[in-house]
Amino acid sequence: MTEKLIEALARIDQEVKHTQVNKSTEYHLGQLRAKYAKISRQLTEMQQKTEIKSVQQHLIERSAAPDPNSLLEQMQFIQTDQNYELQFSNLVLKDNDIRIQTLQTIQQRGSFNNVQEEAGTYLCKFDTEKIIQDQAQATSLVCYQDLLQEERVQHMCKKILTFVLAYGENLFKKKFKKSHDLQYKMVLKSLLPFAGMNVQKDRIAAIFESVLKRQEFYDLFGICQQGIQLMQ
């Protein structure tokens, strides 16, 4: 079922690209975009259900203790990547037009160049704008289509979560800025799927607790309280 929906998205994408934009095609293009958004939502719902079950099963089977060598390797990768600022900021810090364009470029390429693109795309799934969420989901489906579900779960736990935690720890140590409200929300919401699961639990809890200690983050307390409840 998932494969058929991905194929349908690809067909719609190709038809949009090859349809000339003018008054006579405006209605048809509008129908195509609406159909694309509907299929993307269906894929999102299907993936969320299957991914949560797979993550839970994987974490039950794997060792409770994280692999320190793996974590160190990921942190070294993050610290030494020369393209961190450009790749990550285009997806997380820029305006919506640039973010959508960057997500579409990655989708057309069919693969991620580095962990910054992967983590940025993952965070975009928790954006407050539905159009960003849908595009990030569509990009992920294309880029991960060759990975088995179990392989994707391991990848998320070892690589993407590690990067998001490092970014979040740094973000919430800094002085509060209202302009960073979207980044705050995306990071905290992106940790909720992992809350209560036996993977880097201490670091996840530490971020939630650090936010709850600062009154300036009052608008984020609800997300943090939800995360802590999931971990109990």
User: What band does 103 get if pLDDT is binned at 50, 70 and 90?
Assistant: very high
Output the pLDDT for position 62: 47
Q: Which of 87, 153, 149 is nearest to 118 (CA)?
A: 87
d(CA 65, CA 198): 8
User: Domain range holding 157?
Assistant: 2-231
pLDDT of residue 215: 92
- Is 186 a residue whose pLDDT tops 90? yes
What's the confidence (pLDDT) of residue 50? Answer: 63
Asked if pLDDT for residue 75 goes beyond 60, the answer is: no
Token duo for residue 147? 């990975």
Q: What is the average per-residue pLDDT within 98-102?
A: 91
Confidence of residue 82 (pLDDT cuts 50, 70, 90): very low
Q: pLDDT: is 196 or 81 the higher one?
A: 196
What rounded mean pLDDT belongs to the chain? 80
Q: What is the pLDDT of residues 128-154, one digit of tens each?
A: 999 999 999 999 999 988 888 788 878
Domain count within the chain: 1
Mean pLDDT of 172-178: 89
Closest CA to 89 of 136, 137, 123, 139: 123
pLDDT, position 188: 94
User: Has residue 224 got a pLDDT over 80?
Assistant: yes
> Using CA atoms, how far apart are residues 87 and 89, in angstroms rounded to an integer?
6
Please tell me the predicted confidence (pLDDT) of residue 60: 47
- Is the predicted pLDDT of residue 72 greater than 70, yes or no? no
